[in-house]
Amino acid sequence: MKIVEIKAFPVTVPVPPEHRVRLGIGVMVKRDIVFVKVTTKSGLVGWGESHHGRAHLAIATLVNTTLKQLVLGMDAADVNGVWARIYKFQLGSHGMGAACAMAMSGIDMALWDIRGKAVGWPLYKLLGGSSRKIPAYAGGIALGIQPPESLVEEAKGFVAAGFRALKLRLGGDTVTADIARVEAVRAGLGPDIDILTDVNTGYSLADARRAMPAFAACNVGWLEEPFPGHDYRLYREAKSFAPVPLAAGENHFTRFEFSRLIEEGAVSILQPDLSKCGGITEALKIAAMASAYKLPIHPHTSQGVSMTATVQFLSAIENGGYFEADCSLNNPLRDELIDPPIRVANDGTILPSEKPGVGVDVNEDMILHYAGVEGPSFI
């Protein structure tokens, strides 16, 4: 299965004004992503996804001009060999760090798609897992910063649809307003729904000291990324403020950064993103390392191919947790790009696709239609 072609496609889908959601990092005005197509000499095609890194044109260029040259001619089945070659010649030495990790994630995901197609198995079976219901929480670009009354109504809609867990976006307002929103949702939903929170790195240490006792009183399931990923000292200090589990990982890259995150002992919820951390090959190593510490994996997910790959991944690891379901009102990358589209059942769970490989067919015409454009995705 010699690799003969690699092509990255930067994609941009505008978000209509009526569907824009405010998060702690701003208002999303467009969806950016990079899709990676790998072709073998025998004609097998695999699809992967690289996170945009808020610079999707640059990530695609890195794949198309540099990583491609390192990988062409290698065996598509040799995922560890491909990973090691990119690490040696790019990521591990002068190699753009996080950007390289994101770029190589798409290549690696596409190679796993090819491996599954070659043997006719869905990814979860290839990884040694089984088809089982994965619990999902309502998240993605939804439940954004808004008045408590409308937030409660949106949350109730997701519970009515079957979700037993949801994630609130915080950090783009005052701590007092964040607390009020969490308290309103807890009062509106009762004690049996798992409320998760995400600050998108927007808190100071003083903010966390004020917020965490109130979140503990509301039985919040986790406080996600109150600080940037590299601020390990802040995570260590915040752990003592209240018994609210701290979560991080979507902005940590490769097992080498996750090893420190684990060893620091402050974060008890790990959230690697298959389109950012180095791909499926690396995510498996992160999950295995975390399992030795009895730490759960609740992956962060992205736009299309990586979402279905994440369900497959969660079906194969022993310490898998929630699937993050994107509950945006408008997301063509979720609904039109892949077949079958991502769908959560009315009991709040999702099953892995039974199609070979990652488990979806990709609408290449749509990728070409939404060619990447410059500009920030959040304003």
Is the pLDDT at 95 greater than 90? The verdict is no
Cα–Cα distances in angstroms (integers) from residue 343 to residues 308, 312, 351, in the given order:
10, 14, 9
| CA nearest to 110, candidates 53, 44, 52, 66 | 44
pLDDT per position as a tens digit, 297-325: 999 997 889 999 999 999 999 999 999 99
- Residue 358 near residue 305, CB atoms below 8 Å: yes
Average pLDDT over residues 195-204: 96
Which band of pLDDT confidence, cut at 50, 70 and 90, is reported for residue 23? confident
% of the chain beyond a pLDDT of 70: 100
pLDDT per position as a tens digit, 61-77: 999 999 999 999 999 99
pLDDT per position as a tens digit, 223-253: 999 999 999 999 999 999 999 999 999 999 9
Stretch among 7-11, 186-190, 290-294, 341-345 having the lowest mean pLDDT: 341-345
Which band of pLDDT confidence, cut at 50, 70 and 90, is reported for residue 191? very high
pLDDT per position as a tens digit, 117-168: 999 999 999 999 999 999 999 998 889 999 999 999 999 999 999 999 999 9
Is the pLDDT at 25 greater than 90? The verdict is no
The gap from C-alpha 347 to its chain's centroid, in whole angstroms, comes to 22
- Residue 295 near residue 268, CB atoms below 8 Å: yes
Domains along the chain? Answer: 3-120+365-369 (3.30.390.10), 124-363 (3.20.20.120)
Average pLDDT, the chain: 96
Q: Is the dihedral of CA 116, 121, 122, 123 positive or negative?
A: negative
Is the pLDDT at 334 greater than 90? The verdict is no
- Residue 105 near residue 51, CB atoms below 8 Å: yes
**What is the model's pLDDT at position 289?**
98
Half-sphere exposure of residue 163, counting CA atoms within 13 Å on the CB side?
26
Is the pLDDT at 33 greater than 90? The verdict is yes
Q: Is 294 exposed, middle or buried (0-12, 13-18, 19+ CB in 10 A)?
A: exposed
DSSP secondary structure letter of residue 74: S
Q: Is 187 exposed, middle or buried (0-12, 13-18, 19+ CB in 10 A)?
A: exposed
Q: What residues contact residue 378 under an 8 Å CB cut-off, 6+ apart?
A: 23, 25, 26, 27, 28, 29, 54
**What is the model's pLDDT at position 47?**
98
**What is the model's pLDDT at position 304?**
86
Is the pLDDT at 286 greater than 90? The verdict is yes
3-state secondary structure of 50: strand
Average pLDDT over residues 48-69: 97
Average pLDDT over residues 278-305: 96
3-state secondary structure of 259: helix
Backbone torsions φ then ψ of 47, nearest 5 degrees: -120, 135
